[in-house]
Amino acid sequence: MIPGRFEYHRPKSLPEAVALLAKLGEDARPLAGGHSLIPMMKLRMATPEHLVDLAGIADLKGIRHEGGRIVIGAMTTQAELIASADLSAALPILKETALLIADPQVRYVGTLGGNVANGDPGNDMPAVMMALDATYQLAGEKGAREVAAREFYQGAYFTALEPGEMLAAISIPVPPAGHGAAYEKLKRKIGDYATAAAAVVLTKADGRIATCAIALTNVGDTPLLAEEAAHILTGTSADAASLARAIAAAEAITEPATDGRGTAAYRTKMAGIMLERALARALARAAG
Amino acid sequence: MNDQTPTKAEREARLQGMGCKRKRVEDIRFTQGRGNYVDDIKLPGMLFGDFYRSPYPHARIKKLDTSRAKALPGVRAVLTAADLKPLNLHYMPTLAGDVQAVLADEKVLFQNQEVAFVIADDRYIAADAIELIDCEYEELPVLVDPSKALLPDAPILREDIVDKMVGAHGPRRHANHIFNWQVGEKDGTDEAFASAPVTVKETFYYHRTHPSPLETCQALASMDKIKGELTLYGTFQAPHVIRTVVSLISGLPEHKIHVIAPDIGGGFGNKVGAYAGYVCAVVGSIVLGKPVKWVEDRMENLSTTSFARDYHMTTELAATQDGKILAMRCYVLADHGAFDACADPSKWPAGFMNICTGSYDIPVAHLEVDGVYTNKASGGVAYRCSFRVTEAVYAIERAVEVLAQKLGMDSADLRVKNFIRRDQFPYHAALGWEYDSGDYHFAMEKAMTAVDYRGLRTEQAAKREAFKRGETREIMGIGVSFFTEIVGAGPSKNCDILGIGMFDSCEIRIHPTGSVIARMGTKSQGQGHETTYAQILATELGIPADDIMIEEGNTDTAPYGLGTYGSRSTPTAGAATAMAARKIRAKAQMIAAHLLEVHHNDLEWDVDGFQVKGLPEKRKSMKEIAWASYNQPIPNLEPGLEAVNYYDPPNMTYPFGAYFCVMDIDVDTGVFKVRRFYALDDCGTRINPMIIEGQVHGGLTEAFAVSMGQEIRYDAMGNVMGASFMDFFLPTAVETPHWETDFTETPSPHHPIGAKGVGESPHVGGVPCFSNAVNDAFSFLGTTHINMPHDAWRMWEMAEKLGLHAQANAAA
């Protein structure tokens, strides 16, 4: 449980960090809260020769409004998300999800950017970002670019990030007032990754589901956007038959591993049950 | 007497003796981070050792090349079996009469087995050097399933003892066989079963788990080559035994070995045995002449040093139609892993598994245990229990539930019907033990009333009907367990470790000013010995507990003892403490008689001193007597005031208890909620009720962990799964249920203060209680037994198997 040798860098600005990452190439990894990367290094499953600590970059922190969007700096901690009254009002699902991540000590150090950029299918925020249709603002030697959360995840620990590129901020379109959202997570104990979890963001009009997005956590190599399930529900009154069909459609796209959390069959079913519960809460919260 | 004279009650209160809820004195340093653990000890020039371990569970070592590791700057040595062989240290004796490889000799027998020991200037260099060790293996067929160990074509694991057809416990019938152990009357039991109106048979698998103390196993060896003396600091639950073992295997004379166990961060059986790390640290220090420290990491702890349980217990009961138990039969297949390193008293290959007749008056019984080798880590330690007692209690407490179900009887009523009655003590059990004291009926009645047992059953019946009607997706389970422990090993007539009788000891010195230091052969790992022993002494000596220092763990100063495990400290060293104190009091009486110029028979003891019978104003306090013992010649007495006692207990002690658990299980997710847990413990005389309560909370929490999720699992390839806290279930405060504690008090008749020991009872009684709750919840659907651990996915699988999900979908 002792990592190999590495060089430690602590840039002061985003351009400096980008330049360092470009220079050091594939042997370098950006370090955010470290709760995923450092355990991997201790197990020597990750052996970066350079760590570029982003903690000294003030520009990577903070929550701000930009038009109809909320932009959150990648180095904003889960604790800061929870504490933000602004965020609680505009995007209550973020606080709800952050409170289900690990424990208070981890949340004081763990960051939103680290959670979404690491590509760990066990992380909770990626599914929420997919459901919210967030966009990731990436910084790299060749300049800035944006990638939709829904396009970002390619496989376990594989993302759209190019070598030398890093996540600078997450931009989320603010859902309309009266939207309903929920995140339901089943876990074995405090601090555990999800056995299965589901994020739902929807709006209602005239008693029917007007828009709906659903994403699932830790039941595949990547977070899963359940498009078919959302499509089934859109336009319905969320009647029992539609709900059952949507849940079955969501279960059908899961490919969980059998592990200490349970068999693949169990985890698939739990994804369905988490979705059922998340839908019930999101529907209850939505106006119209 | 004037108004300033403290009353008798005030003087008694000032002592903070037995029965007082005295705050733990050790917590002052622990809660401020000022404990002194092995890893806090830093010696000048200290080096660090770390293991290169096998990635394979069963393989032949074709080539082991350490040259690249040795060439790394900062590496001082790399030890392999080839280095240890000339010293005859490549194997070490185990407590169970087997030998265990210190470093793998030609082949590896379990994943993560120690193959080479790197010694370097710091931990980082050692970890880097491990990556540079080149080892080539030839993989061999892996034996994971113990039921296949004795098949004719099973792969042979222990080539080192393949020709040794008689083991430490008798004949071996296969190369992978360790022992066959039988207790009780086979023929009589078979006859009783043949003619019994009702019989039940069920196989309970008590899964492999691990004690997982907060602090892992560690050692720091420092050889002084000039003086020829070795100082060994370590996480030792039994430091004197370690000293003897080190002397026997190293050839160093025992008086030149100083073993010191400093503060220990939990043991639970993990720190009883001797491990490769201890031996390698010692050898490294002898070879290099520098202190060598070895500290296990969490994964090494969980996957290599001392698992617990792994018993497959086929248990049968015979009974009359109205529920009187006539006989018990139990066959155990015991998976010991690659070496037999069980930490049991020498003559007990399956520990005290023969306590499996439990709290019941069973006329005849037979127990048979086969121990076998598999490609898994070795161990089989008593994890928060006396030797294999958790297994034994689990077997009987599940079996009575299965019997009750077959008879259509309430399981609490079945227990009550078969309890050993108060007037039967001392009770001779069919499998050989003599239970010292108990009042099971009284305890059970108190517990059943406290939880409103009949009311719970009524509620459960209503809930089951509601479930059948589809109105709820929750099932309710009521767990009952009534356990009898056997602790305080033990009488030297039948208990020894490496030939040393399992007595324990106390040495007391009273200083001129009346304060005290007392030393014991036991070693606290968190039990609070510094607090409780002082309370026994306070009552026995009439000296305030705050004026008494308790010291353990330094083999140079402490009297020889066998250490702390199996709830033995209070039954053995606690008794020695009282007995040594009584020697001092006898001498103090002679001194007081001299000072008061009366015959010693004219004196009587009064809380904290002696007074002349009928003349309470004529008295001498222990403080005055202590001073006098140093200050003036007392005719016919030696100066000073000290005593030592080595206590060989006449019998074990038998704590017992009644536990109840109420649990609700969501059949759609398997998620459970412990609504209520009530624990009534009878540990005989209660020394410190607050410490007892803390012990019960801790033991129940570990019982909750083991029964509801904690396991060390191997896949079919022999890979150890879940050996980190990511998967190994350690409940936090959030998951842990609320505990209600209660007690009755039935003193042990043979113990000087009547105390029986309590640290392990809650674990022993708690595990079957949780498991019974789960099994009880499902039983109305036709199940008879569901194996632990009862984590959510397994409960969901059972619900799935029972068709509960299809049913719900059809209804929807």
Same domain, residue pair A141 and A88 = yes
The single residue listed with the structure tokens 């066990």 is A122
- Contact B797/A4, CB-based, under 8 Å? no
pLDDT digits (tens, 9 = 90+) for A22-33: 999 989 999 999
Total tally of structural domains belonging to chain A? 3
Q: CA-CA distance, A254 to A271, in Å (whole number)?
A: 8
Active site residue B384: yes
Rounded-to-integer distance, Cα A116 and Cα A136, Å: 9
* Catalytic residue list contains B760: yes
Annotated catalytic residue B182: no
Q: For residue B2, what pLDDT is reported? A: 54
Rounded Cα distance, A55 and A48, in Å? 18
Instruction: Determine which helix (DSSP H) or strand (DSSP E) holds A215, and give its type and residue range.
Output: strand A208-217
Instruction: Mark yes or no for CB contact A273/B298 under 8 Å.
Output: no
Q: Which residues of B touch A2 (CB under 8 A)?
A: 123-124, 127
Nearest by CB to B299, which of A1, A191, A263?
A1
Return all residues near A128 (Cβ < 8 A) that are at least 6 apart. Answer: A93, A94, A97, A183, A199, A215
Please report, as a single letter, which amino acid is at residue A43: L
What percentage of chain B has pLDDT greater than the value 70?
99
Q: For residue A9, give how far its alpha carbon lies from the nearest alpha carbon of chain B (Å).
A: 20
Before B490, cis peptide (omega within 30)? yes
Q: Is the pLDDT of residue B249 over 90?
A: no
Which of A173, A197, A229 is where one domain is finished? Answer: A173
Report the C-alpha gap between B96 and B339 in whole angstroms. 9
Q: Residue B811: is its pLDDT beyond 70?
A: no
Using the Cα atoms of residue B87, residue B88, residue B91 and residue B94 in order, give the sign of their dihedral: negative
Q: Measuring CA to CA, which residue among B93, B95, B116 is closest to residue B105?
A: B116
Nearest chain A alpha carbon to B736: A189
A48/A65 same-domain check: no
CB contact under 8 A, A1 and B671: no
Same domain for A101 and A143: yes
Which residues in chain B have Cβ-Cβ distances shorter than 8 Å to A261?
Answer: 793
Range of the domain at A270: 181-283
User: Token pair of A197, please?
Assistant: 């979890």
Torsion angle (degrees, nearest 10) of CA B122, B127, B133, B137: 140
How large is the average pLDDT for residues A78-84?
98
Residue A171's alpha-carbon distances to A60, A71, A128, B170, B345, in angstroms, are 13, 4, 13, 73, 66
| Domain annotation covers residue A33 | yes
Does residue B430 carry a pLDDT above 50?
A: yes
- Confidence at B247, pLDDT banded by 50, 70, 90: very high
Residue A260 resides in a domain: yes
| Catalytic, out of B20, B135, B217, B385 | B385
Is A2 domain-assigned? Answer: no
* Higher per-residue confidence, A164 vs B417: B417
Give the pLDDT score at A288: 80
Q: What distance lies between CA A6 and its chain's CA centroid? A: 28
Question: What is the reported pLDDT for A221?
Answer: 97
Residues A42 and A99 in one domain: no
3-state secondary structure of B22: coil
The answer to whether residues A189 and A166 belong to one domain is no
Chain B residues in contact with A260 (beta carbon < 8 A) = 713, 721-722, 726-727
Write out pLDDT tens, residues B438-449.
999 999 999 999
Q: Tell me the per-residue pLDDT of A176-210, one tens digit each, with 9 for 90 and over.
A: 999 999 999 999 999 999 999 999 999 999 999 99
C-alpha to C-alpha distance for B550 and B531, rounded to whole angstroms: 8
Chain B residue nearest residue A188, CA to CA:
B792
Among chain A residues, CA nearest to B708? A188
The domain that holds A29 is classified in CATH as 3.30.43.10
Phi, psi at B364, each rounded to 5°? -145, 145
pLDDT at B5: 81
- Note whether A190 contacts B793, CB cutoff 8 Å: no
Residue B453 has pLDDT above 80, yes or no: yes
| Token digits of residue B222 | 């420092």
Name the residue facing B709 among A188, A195, A259 (closest C-beta).
Answer: A188
| SS3 (DSSP) at A241 | helix
User: Residues A218-243: pLDDT tens digits?
Assistant: 999 999 999 999 999 999 999 999 99
- Residue B503 DSSP symbol: -
Indicate the DSSP class of residue B569: I
The separation between CA B169 and the C-alpha centre of its own chain, rounded to angstroms, equals 22
Final residue before a domain boundary, out of A17, A34, A52: A52
**Same domain, yes or no: A194 and A168:** no
C-beta separation of B740 from B680 below 8 A: no
Domain assignment present for A251: yes
The answer to whether B791 contacts A188, with C-beta atoms less than 8 Å apart, is yes
Q: Which of A2, A260, A266 sits opposite B722 (nearest CB)?
A: A260
CA pseudo-torsion sign B576, B577, B583, B586: negative
Residues in contact with A149: Cβ distance below 8 Å, sequence separation at least 6, in sequence order: A116, A126, A129, A130, A132, A133, A134, A135, A136, A170
CB B549 within 8 A of CB B517: yes
pLDDT band for position B806 (cuts 50, 70, 90): confident
Ramachandran quadrant class, B266 (left: phi over 0; alpha: psi -120 to 50; beta: rest): left
pLDDT in tens, B40-56: 999 999 999 999 999 99
B695 is catalytic: no
Task: Decide if A1 and B793 are in contact by the 8 Å CB cutoff.
Answer: no
Q: pLDDT for B342-400, tens place per residue? A: 989 999 999 999 999 999 999 999 999 999 999 999 999 999 999 999 999 999 999 99
- pLDDT given for residue B1 in this prediction: 47
Domains identified in chain B and CATH numbers? 8-35+504-647 (3.30.365.10), 38-140+216-264+271-303 (3.90.1170.50), 394-405+417-487+652-811 (3.30.365.10)
User: Which residues, in sequence order, are bridge partners of residue B232?
Assistant: B221, B259
Sequence-distant (6+) residues with CB within 8 A of A29 are A37, A46, A48, A50, A51, A52
Per DSSP, B777 falls in state H
- Mean pLDDT, chain B, rounded, equals 96
CB-CB: which of B127, B668, B732 is closest to A190?
B732
Number of residues in chain B: 812
| Residues whose CB is less than 8 angstroms from the CB of residue B530 and which lie 6 or more positions away in sequence, other chains included | B24, B25, B26, B524, B549, B550
Are A116 and A210 contained in the same domain?
no
pLDDT value, residue B808: 72
A209 and A186: one domain?
Answer: yes
Per-residue model confidence as pLDDT tens digits over A139-168? 999 999 999 999 999 999 999 999 889 999
Interface contact flag, A2 B124, Cβ < 8 Å: yes
What confidence score (pLDDT) does residue B812 get? Answer: 57
Q: Which residue of B has its CA nearest to A241?
A: B812
Q: Residue B604: enclosing H or E segment and its boundaries?
A: strand B603-605
Q: Answer with the one of A111, A142, A173 that is the final residue of a domain.
A: A173
Q: Which of B668, B732, B796 sits opposite A189 (nearest CB)?
A: B732
Both A233 and A202 in a single domain? yes
Average pLDDT score over residue span B73-79 = 98
- CA A250 to each of CA A96, A183, A247, A269, A274: distance values in angstroms, whole numbers, following the listed order: 22, 15, 5, 10, 11
Can you tell me whether residue B541 is helix, strand or coil?
helix
CATH of the domain at A121: 3.30.465.10
For residue A102, what is the nearest residue in chain B, using CA coordinates? B726
Out of A4, A103, A195, whose CB is closest to B128? A4
Q: In what order do the strands lie in the sheet with A50-53?
A: A7-9, A50-53, A28-31
DSSP per residue, B522-537: ---SSS-HHHHHHHHH
Asked if residue A288 is part of any domain, the answer here is no
Dihedral sign for Cα atoms in the order B272, B277, B283, B286: negative
Longest pairwise C-alpha distance within chain A: 61
ipTM exceeds 0.90: yes
A159 part of a folded domain: yes
- What stretch of H or E contains B591? helix B575-596
User: Model confidence at B722, in pLDDT bands (50, 70, 90)?
Assistant: confident
> How is chain B split among helix, strand and coil, in percent rounded to 5?
30, 25, 40
Choose among B668, B667, B614, B670: nearest CA to B793.
B670
Which amino acid would we find at residue B786? I
CA atoms within 13 A on the CB side of B726: 16
**In this structure, what are the phi and psi dihedrals at residue A113, rounded to the nearest 5 degrees?**
-65, -45
- How far apart are alpha carbons A85 and A101 in whole angstroms? 19
Asked if A189 and A264 sit in the same domain, the reply is: yes
The pLDDT of residue B182 is above 50: yes
Phi, psi of B587 (to 5 degrees): -70, -40
pLDDT of B184 strictly over 60: yes
Angle among Cα B37, B41, B46 to the nearest 5 degrees reads 140
Quote the tokens at residue B552.
Answer: 């353990």
* Residues of chain A positioned with their CB less than 8 A from the CB of B704: none
**pLDDT the model gives residue A189:** 95
Same domain, A250 and A215: yes
Interface of A with B (CB under 8 A): 1-2, 4-5, 44, 103, 186, 188-192, 195, 240, 244, 259-263, 265-267, 269-270, 273
What number of other Cβ atoms are within 10 A of residue B493's Cβ?
9
With contacts defined as CB-CB under 8 Å, which chain A residues touch B722? 260
The pairing of strands B609-612 and B615-621 is antiparallel
The reported pLDDT for the residue numbered B361 is 98
Q: Does A244 contact B812 at a Cβ distance shorter than 8 Å? A: yes
According to the model, what pLDDT value does residue A57 have? 97
Residue B3 has pLDDT above 70, yes or no: no
B141 contact partners, CB below 8 Å, separation of at least 6: B58, B155
Residues in CB range of B528: below 8 A, 6 or more apart: B24, B26, B688, B691, B694
Residue A190 maps to which CATH number? Answer: 3.30.390.50
Q: Is residue A238 domain-resident?
A: yes
> In chain B, what percentage of residues exceed pLDDT 90?
97
The verdict on A185 and A167 lying in the same domain is no
Does residue A21 belong to any structural domain of this protein? Answer: yes
Rounded CA-CA distance A75/A14 in Å is 12
Judge contact between B712 and B723, C-beta under 8 A. yes
Measured between CA atoms, the residue of chain A closest to residue B721 is: A260
B769-793, pLDDT tens digit by residue?
999 999 999 999 999 999 999 999 9
The candidate with the shortest Cα–Cα distance to B394, out of B180, B170, B209, B231, is B209
Judge: B732–A191 Cβ closer than 8 Å, yes or no: yes
